[in-house]
Homo-oligomer: A and B are copies of this chain.
Amino acid sequence: MRIGELSERTGTPRRLLRYYEEQGLIVADRLPNGYRVYDESNVDRVAQIRGLLDAGLPTRIIKQILPCLNKPRIIHFPDATPEMLATLEEERDRMTERIRFLTRNRDAVAEYLVAVREKLAAGSA
């Protein structure tokens, strides 16, 4: 498929698909006329990228961890340098931290909402 279809199917502006490519997050083949061509796998990949971005990870980190997140559970080890592993561990811990924090705050917000609803119910009763 070309960029327009991928854009529609992932709900991602073309501009960003090009940007992700520029950042090395996705790769596109080219038709003889220069048009980008994508295969199915890119749909999932873009979704993954967007999710990670939305989760607050910067593209340069996403670039590092993406290869470890392949669907086929065949972990193909890229040049797994020690520093890269260190980065990954850091990032894993950062994610864990984030999850903890986010969960705490989500729960607080949720509790608040419940409390407000009760208040409202009591008030209107």
Contacts and interface: CB of A to CB of B under 8 A. Distances in A.
A23 to B, nearest CB: 18
A16 interface: no
Interface in A95-125: 95-96, 98-99, 101-103, 105-106, 108-110, 112-113, 115-116, 119
A21 interface: no
A108 B68 contact: yes
Interface residues of A, number: 34
A48 B105 CA distance: 9
B88 A113 contact: yes
Interface stretch (A5-13, A26-34, A35-43, A52-60): A52-60
